[in-house]
Structure 1
């Protein structure tokens, strides 16, 4: 869509095979199977009068004074309930989506626009979360124009409208809402609780720390009788810990929370100025419930510090749902004694924190130029069990596909299967951002190659080798040649009888370099976990010597950079990947290093003035080569040097007008040729004048 942004509100509708997207002034219905098909679009802007009033109040005309969609929830089989910021005047309405996918109905119901206060924040930069349960809307929003009154609301439906205690920092202290999720506690529906995930400022005076929180309320909460009237009487919250223990016992905490459903996977980032990074932590609902059933936080003592409450806890226990497993005789929170309600009001926080499984993060990233921002987890059935695959969105527009495997009871092994630049490039992953919506296939088995070993080493539970190529794994497949080993990734055992083909597919190339210049030998393994080793077999020798980095040789993730080439550098370079004790050659490059005499001979034959040879490094010199040689090397990389003579002879026979046309074409197509040149790269330490192409000297 043109003239719109903020593609962040997504709702999946598998019954209609549609995905609904909320953005600035638009609601879009996309085909789940192919989001590039013609979408169904609703244009829902605010009136010009409302926009003008918003601008007069001091808000930005483009970034704030529009209708930013903040809520899309299923209302019934045929309708959606939608809300938008309404240019700092929240509004809600109903969308008719039809009864069946074939209906292609998608429009706002006329005359059904209503207030969105308590359902959507005024400011589009303040995140809102919501959950529509039994036609009752639960939402974490900011309710006022200034963005100072944050609350968890219940609106609509037959029950009493409810909210958190207003301007009470013990309950909510400048929160940023992340997610809301209904999680049943037991088979008794009266025990059902709605969990809110948010981050907020620490309530300690003078502290600038931000804490990640998990809060909960009972769905059948009606508030108190005399105290906390129309306010939650079962609201409790606890801190979520995601930290890395250091060698000195000090823990580094990740406190910026992003979340996914139970088993609860949450993405965190660090908030400090010294340590920057992000992490994924996993929490069990058993641990969460244990914390909510534990001691309450209470301030006491000479320093008025947080302590566990050791006094008498009233009955029923604060936070217990009425009519549930432990309170079958109480039908409403209005039946609770006043001491329970008063205790709840003053003690909404639990003393203990919730720690992740194994007391440490599942995935950690530090010293990288990105942070995790969101997470989706998919459970995949593979040949050797069920695995959770994590799709981690980053703030640089990529999605990392990660699997974490158990090594033993305490240790885990993290494998990055793939990283996709989602905005550059049939189960699908849908990614929304301020830029747009993109669709990513969960399994891209072809990127692992055709060899059995490469497919097995990938350890991707979506993929298996089928006897010919790496393809989508299907548990129902009867093919005896299918090979997959996610847990161990052992191609020696899995690909027995097929490994002999691994080295047959080694890519063999020939490259030329000029003495004193630089060249790059490319080798990129398909697996990020592979260890690369380079060996050199010199001309006329059977011995192979391992290559290590020094002042002339630089090993990179993409290959080998050789600087200030010497004649002795010529030979056969082999790049070998090792993973799980399995070795196979990836690339074999025959490097031929030309000395200056050979270069002079070629240039003399072509008519190029010898003066242009100045600056070419002779053996043992470190002076940078002339840029002219990049064109020379392109010609020398041909199998026979006689190609140069053929080229020049053809050039001499062409008419002058054709020569002029081709010269213009060469200059026009130069950027294209630059991309197609062989990988002979060099470092230009000195700025040299640009010389004409070799073709211009075939005269």
Structure 2
């Protein structure tokens, strides 16, 4: 075979395989739940508005307040503490539309002026955006805000139903970002604040810092943090039942410009870093700096993408009785180029991340002749104790009980080489979800045990369009149960939280905060719809004939989450047809709303499949009958056909009995004319017409009496007198007599003379000017235009 032909065939095969893979990227949610108009709680009073959700969901917002992007679940107080721009709210955890208390934290005019003088927007940037909100050991809360590009922190308490700021201002530099639109991360772990943000006004000094008891931070070196975007932080209790006497860890997820990349353009990569809880810094080297800071690349391979996808959010899932090694991190990734609209979710084992840091190779910088630094795998001797490791039993045996005792050789090694050589790969070496559409922004994960005894991870994913996807993975098959629109405007989801106590999900955006349940099983009205939803939270209860939450039932429920086997359902009750009638030659639409986006519509007439035509058009939401005839009468049935992994299932959605009669289109099936009941009668219409005629005659008589409308004989007499007057006082061919005499009379009484108008009513002035022009042109030929006709035209132009 010719080499060029061989390459062409190979390329076509690769393209075919790619297209086959991409076919699963356009998976749609089985159901889409739009925004609904309900009641909200605003300023403590229930008012009718367009700012809430249906299906037991609630929404909170206050007029003039934006950026609801930080939440703290105080389940001990049954509160959702919500931070926004210049305000903090205490909301009822069961119904966040109920505001229990609030506190304002606004910037002063002087602070706003200083911020404005530094070149920032006084209406957006020079405000106090709440960014840090954590619970402390004494039940107080630690809160920080951007404070017009001068971050500040304070303590807040909730007692007797009231939020209170204690006004103990603390410097927030290194704890809270200066810029309200800059990414950051923080956690409060054993009353110590760990934060990742910028140390300066310009945002050019990124730092991972622990504020107390001893302030420890990262080095200001590009090999440590290089133009990072911080995403999330989490702690892991790795000291529990540790045979090595290990320490607890704090993990940081972020993206940054890769220092190890040998390329001309900047390449952004995703990272995970970790530090030890007991780190106190070094004695001489790395004083008050992390001695345990290590970082590694974290990958999420999406198809055959050339550029790595960038991490946007993570969620740590750990079961109640689960060991830390079995915990998982779920992470959202999006492309770093505008040429792709894919988003992905990858899952990682904490044990694998820990192993890379504990046993992996290091990268080291090597100068080359072209005057730049190349990073390669370090193959030399590694100092003891191991650089970046926490103090463990082996170190204690060597007399090293704290990081201040570490030798300078170990500290210098980690100062120069904080990057690991091995990248962290996801479980299965592939994403658990890849989808084309609105960009993913936030993720939370919950585990639920279905009726088959297995436990499933259900992912709730926020998007940039203000929706939340509910998706689950069954044996490698990604299934999107539903997509719920939380906000009326398409605002990105900025935060997602979940409460085990209430079983509710809480979301925040710039527009407001929303609350939705884990599942709304009542959306499924039939057993088949309930089973085909494949929602592990829901099952069909045969006793009550409803789709209900698993924990709400004591009886055995019908559920098939893996296969979607709806054959387990009992036979559905027969439909009662709705009557419809239509005029011969008229049009009629028969509505059919499918219970699922995955279903297809088929229609039957009198038990036989309906063939679409120009007169019978199949629409997305029904059937349209055009130019109806006698042959269109009959029984129409709309069927929903949906395929699952088990089989293809057909169910009746709607039935119509259509009759062709003289009564026109309407509800019911009348065949003969029926007397109208409750509408206007013919006698009433006759009376109304008679009153209108009498009123018109009275109006005409009043106008004749007052002279506004001259009588016809008076009009003819007046025209003769005016004609004689013109012949006596002036030449009819004279311009003066032609213009002055009629206009003088018109200026006095302006009689309205009826005449025939063959033109449009909007061109009166144009017709009058044309008549005058014609009269001037005929001056040499004699008086061909008479005065009465001129007066009539002039009157009409005046009107």
Output the TM-score relative to the length of structure 1.
0.77
Partner of 2:440: 372
Specify the structure having the higher radius of gyration (Cα). 2
**Counterpart of 1:342?**
412
Alignment of 1:331 onto 2:401: yes
Q: Which consecutive unaligned segments of at least 5 residues does structure 2 have?
A: 1-61, 318-327, 490-501, 691-799
**Which residue in 2 is equivalent to 1:165?**
219
* Aligned residue runs from structure 1 range 459-608, under 5 A: 459-467=534-542, 468-474=544-550, 477-480=553-556, 482-493=557-568, 495=569, 498=570, 500=571, 502=572, 504-506=573-575, 508-510=577-579, 521-529=590-598, 531-537=599-605, 544-545=608-609, 558-559=621-622, 572-579=636-643, 580-590=646-656
Partner of 1:390: helix, strand, or coil?
A: strand
Indicate how the Cα distance of structure 1 residues 463 and 197 shifts in structure 2: closer, same or farther if over 3 A, else same.
Answer: same
Aligned to 2:528: 453
Partner residue, 1:310? 379
Instruction: Name whichever of 372-381 and 183-192 sits farther off.
Output: 183-192
Alpha-carbon distance in 1 for matches of 2:300, 2:625: 44
Q: Which residue of structure 1 aligns with residue 310 of structure 2? A: 255
User: Aligned in 2, Cα 1:123/1:252: closer, same or farther, shift over 3 Å?
Assistant: closer
1:210 matched to 2:268: yes
Ranked by relative contact order (alpha carbons within 8 Å, sequence separation 6 or more), the top structure is 2
Give matches, 1:638-653, under 5 Å: 638-640=668-670, 642=672, 646=676, 650-653=680-683
C-alpha displacement at 1:12, in angstroms? Answer: 0.5
Spell out, residue by residue over 1:467-494, the C-alpha distance to the aligned partner (whole angstroms, 9 max, x if none).
Answer: 22334434584425x322323322223x
2:74 aligned with 1:74: no
1:21 alignment counterpart: 82
Does residue 395 in structure 1 map to residue 464 in structure 2?
yes
- CA distance in structure 1 between the aligned counterparts of 2:666 and 2:506, rounded to whole angstroms: 48
Provide, for residues 223-271 of structure 1, a one-character-per-residue CA deviation record: whole Å limited to 9, x for no partner: 223222211121111122112234xxx5674324211114111112112
Shift of 1:51: 1.6
Aligned to 1:404: 473
RMSD: 3.2
Q: Structure 2 residue aligned with 1:434, among 487, 510, 523?
A: 510
Deviations 1:382-439 (A, max 9, x none): 2212222111111111112112111xxxxx1122222222225952111111111111
By how many angstroms is 1:80 displaced? Answer: 0.6
1:195 and 2:251 aligned: yes
Residue 330 of structure 2 aligns with which residue?
265
User: Residue 124 of structure 1 aligns with which residue?
Assistant: 180
- Of 280, 284, 290, the residue aligned with 1:226 is 284
Distance 1:237 1:517, change over 3 A: farther
- In the superposition, the TM-score normalised over structure 2's length comes to 0.68
Distance change (3 Å), C-alpha of 1:510 and 1:390: farther
SS in 1 for 2:641: strand
Structure 1's 78 and 436: CA in aligned 2 closer, same or farther, altered over 3 A?
Answer: same
Provide the C-alpha distance between the structure 2 equivalents of 1:134 and 1:649, rounded to a whole number of angstroms. Answer: 76
Checking the alignment, whether the CA contact within 8 Å between 1:296 and 1:351 is kept in structure 2 is yes
Matches of 1:592 and 1:476, distance apart in 2: 43
Q: Distance in 2 between matches of 1:208 and 1:471?
A: 53
Tell me which moved more, 345-354 or 569-578.
569-578
Q: Is the 8 A contact 1:127 1:177 kept in 2?
A: yes
Q: Report the number of matched residues.
A: 592
Q: Residues 429 and 442 of structure 1 are in contact (CA less than 8 Å); yes or no, is this contact kept in structure 2?
A: yes
